Amino acid sequence: MTTLKGKRLEGKTAVITGATTGIGFATAELFLAHGAKVIITGQSQERLDAAVEKLKAEHKDSVVHGFLADVRSIEQLSVLAETIRKLFDGHLDILFVNSGVLGKGIPFEELDEQEFDFTFDINFKGAFFTVQKLAPLLSSGSTVIFDLSTIHGKPVPAYPVYAASKAAGRSLLRSLAVHFAPRGIRVNAVSPGPVPTEIGKLSGDPAEMAKRFAAIAEASPLKRAGKPEEIAQATLFLASDESSYLTGSDIIIDGGLSA
């Protein structure tokens, strides 16, 4: 594990949704290493327990909790808010809205209502109500961070609904940045390019998905895919006081692909 000079989140509390694997898990590791108390959420009790156990093993003196929640359920999000209130004395400093799905690579003509609703319910509706239900716990100096995607500005034809859901999230973050500014709450986003995670593996044939990621990565100036740990570093910056003059912004992390 990397030796860190200074803990940038000392004394802060954080919630990371969808953090049992991938970018969410890597961010939880980094937040804990920098002194934050963390709650991670997930939809699978088995994966959630395994993630919490691993985090506790890596950071023995840290505070980390797991909470089973489906962001599509407003009722479960309300319970999450109440749980945070009890565990963190009603105070939340950092909310990383990370839960998301890539969806299946289905051509526009073949997309059905079920696939449309599934993708939007998690990527946009889930993000919207996660912030709404947890916002009362945020105070001046707190920060909300969305995990979006470069696809909202550089679409891939096989994923029109995924791209649209992320574009909706980009619009939402702008609105919320203005809405929460009077309360001293900042709202920003990270937008990763190709970063192979469990989401990609669950979105279609693994071999085909690997090909797609490789092709996208090859088109970038750096000629490689990103790593969850690299996205986590940018998220740490947005979560820390070092980004105190940043709100309504979207950090593109795609190896130069957008350029």
Exactly one of 31, 88, 124, 162 is catalytic; which is it? 162
Widest CA span in the chain: 53
pLDDT band at residue 143, thresholds of 50, 70 and 90?
A: very high
Phi-psi category of residue 193: left, alpha or beta, with phi > 0 → left and psi -120 to 50 → alpha = beta
Instruction: Check whether 206 has a pLDDT greater than 80.
Output: no
Question: How high does pLDDT run on average in the chain?
Answer: 92
Q: Are 239 and 96 in contact (CB under 8 A)?
A: yes
Q: Class assignment of domain 13-253?
A: alpha beta
Q: Are 37 and 14 in contact (CB under 8 A)?
A: yes
Highest mean pLDDT among 78-87, 144-153, 198-207, 249-258: 78-87
> Could you tell me the residue ranges of all domains in the chain?
13-253
Measured in whole angstroms, the distance separating CA 251 from the mean position of its chain's CA atoms is 13
Across 41-60, average pLDDT: 97
Across 28-57, average pLDDT: 97
b/e per residue 59-96 (b: at least 16 CB within 10 A): beebebbbbebebbeeebbeebbebbeebbeeebbbbb
pLDDT of residue 18: 97
Dihedral through CA 30, CA 32, CA 35, CA 41, nearest 10?
110
Per residue in 1-39, pLDDT (tens digit) is 444 468 999 999 999 999 999 999 999 999 999 999 999
This prediction has a pTM of: 0.93
Instruction: Check whether 55 has a pLDDT greater than 80.
Output: yes
Instruction: Check whether 241 has a pLDDT greater than 80.
Output: yes
Q: Give how far Cα 19 sits from Cα of 64, 85, 113, 115, 212, Å.
A: 12, 20, 27, 23, 24
Across 60-88, average pLDDT: 97
Across 51-62, average pLDDT: 96
Q: Are 254 and 219 in contact (CB under 8 A)?
A: no
Q: Are 130 and 173 in contact (CB under 8 A)?
A: no
**Percentage above 90 pLDDT, the chain:** 78
Across 201-229, average pLDDT: 78
Q: Is position 245 annotated as part of the catalytic site?
A: no
**Percentage above 70 pLDDT, the chain:** 95
pLDDT band at residue 198, thresholds of 50, 70 and 90?
A: confident
Per residue in 75-118, pLDDT (tens digit) is 999 999 999 999 999 999 999 999 999 888 888 899 999 999 99
Q: Are 128 and 85 in contact (CB under 8 A)?
A: no
